Structure 1
Amino acid sequence: MPEAVFGDMDSLSGDIQARLAPGVLRPVPEQDSTDFDKCLRHIEAPLVLGYGFLGARLDHQLAAMNVLVRRPDRRCVLIGPEDVVCLCPPELTLDLGPGERVSLFPLAEARGQSEGLRWPLDGLRFFPGDAIGTSNEATGPVRLTFGTPSMLIILSVAHLNALVSGLEHAPRWPARA
């Protein structure tokens, strides 16, 4: 059973709500944000693992990825059946082997540096609708640095532990003003 359920509760049946222990439901009644956004902004944790956000509906996946960029101070990894996704911190080191897929997707302008990628990032300007960095490959351990909280990193779910380990030692983005 969950310890807390945040959201507007519009998609949680009355039957399920009745089965939850008192105090578990934490209604956030506004309709200007997604339930994922409501959860992420109310959870205080060093790392949030989000399951179910990389599922069948593309619009929900995009909304969840948008929240990752809107809440850069809330470290969160979305976990799907094939991939893991998170907002790349200012610096990230990943213990990956040669040939492993490292995809980078900007949700706003991004510039960065890299070590350990087949196609280095140095000197490139990434922007949605323009240059993106999908299907790059590790040549060994990877080190990434970015100046803005706008780049998503997408790895195979097989590298969840490497990502969590890298995030554990990475600096954090500040909250947006």
Structure 2
Amino acid sequence: MNKTISNLHKNRVFTLLVWLIIVFIAIISAPSITTTLQSYSQPTFSTNSQPARAAKLHQQWGAQLGKTTQINIVYENPHGQLTAKQVNAIRTSIDKLKRHQSFYNIRQITTPDNNLSGRSQMLSKDGSTQLVLLAIDADQNLRVLVGELTSQVKVAGLKSYVTSRQLFGMLIIKKWLR
């Protein structure tokens, strides 16, 4: 009996070492949680939703935009319809972006003024909101770029938002990982 207990005691170190190796291999070979969440947590939208319509517009933009990411800039007047002065201020803000297009690696800027076929999808029915679409190089650091663009696109008297589908997905994953 003592011999059996002595053998088990000697094998504990060996067993512990084997289990540590197994756990180490399991940790290394496990898939990345972030990658898994990104691939399985993409939101689905109805065909009439604004993100789905924006994705449809994105598909029609052209071949030179193959490796781009779409960023949406939303201008909203919380007090009602956009005035002519506010629309001009939006145009001025977008003109600033056009001047710095190469700095931000923007390949295309789509506004209601330069895309007449998509104008109805870029303006809200009540006239209080306008959407501007940017196609940027896909290899850009999206978080940094959105931070820079947020300060560039502000217009006095309007609420402005800079968002994208990829950024939305990253925020959901970040929230889940907490």
Structure with more strand by fraction? 1
**Shorter-chain TM-score above 0.5:** no
Which of the two has higher C-alpha Rg?
2
RCO comparison, higher one (Cα < 8 Å, 6+)? 2
TM (norm. structure 2) is: 0.27
Structure with more helix by fraction? 2
